[in-house]
A and B are shown apart, each in its own frame.
Chain A
Amino acid sequence: KAGVTQTPRYLIKTRGQQVTLSCSPISGHRSVSWYQQTPGQGLQFLFEYFSETQRNKGNFPGRFSGRQFSNSRSEMNVSTLELGDSALYLCASSILQGVRYEQYFGPGTRLTVT
């Protein structure tokens, strides 16, 4: 099976702009989660979508939003970019194994805000 794919891999944006990142999960996986990774804050959970509905949400401002399509592909959007949004954004697709979800990560999108 193909793994989780994320596009684009690298992105440079200017402060105040908005950006959309895309994630295609592993075939058959219905849950997609997004994480932000920065040197200062480490790995932080943004949100999770399951069957086109947001199921869990982390502590990020409303500038961060996402959605999931009927084919399980997901996008996340960041509006009014700030310098502090520069990070590696990781997408993970999940499948239920018993009572626990196992998450498989994509390669990430490296966002640089200048």
Chain B
Amino acid sequence: AQSVTQLGSHVSVSEGALVLLRCNYSSSVPPYLFWYVQYPNQGLQLLLKYTSAATLVKGINGFEAEFKKSETSFHLTKPSAHMSDAAEYFCAVSGSGANSKLTFGKGITLSVRP
């Protein structure tokens, strides 16, 4: 079975500071990993995805994530936080082919202080 773990439920950073949101995965097969963002009263928006073509993945809004197989991690980072980054962030893993269901972590709420 595949799973992801997001430690902590809330991260608070100052505007302009580094954002680091952690995600660790468990998978017996090469994982397909995703980060989604959810703004209040909205659905999920895909931030970025791990394609196995490159370990450092760049996404939208200046976010990027690095896949580290040795650490079974896929942490999300952004060099400089903006007020508009305040939202809930979900790490997810899926299988391949017909096994496409997403298994999500619990999510992390990011707050950005002025």
Which A residues fall within an 8 A CB radius of B?
Answer: 4, 31, 33, 35, 42-43, 45, 48, 50, 55-56, 58, 90, 92, 94, 98-108, 110
Contact = CB atoms under 8 A, between A and B. Distances in A.
A111 B94 CA distance: 26
B35 interface: no
Contacts, number: 61
Interface residues of B, number: 25
A108 B32 CA distance: 24
Contacts of A107: 41-43
Interface in B51-88: 51
Nearest to A46: B101
B106 A42 contact: yes
B44 A33 contact: no
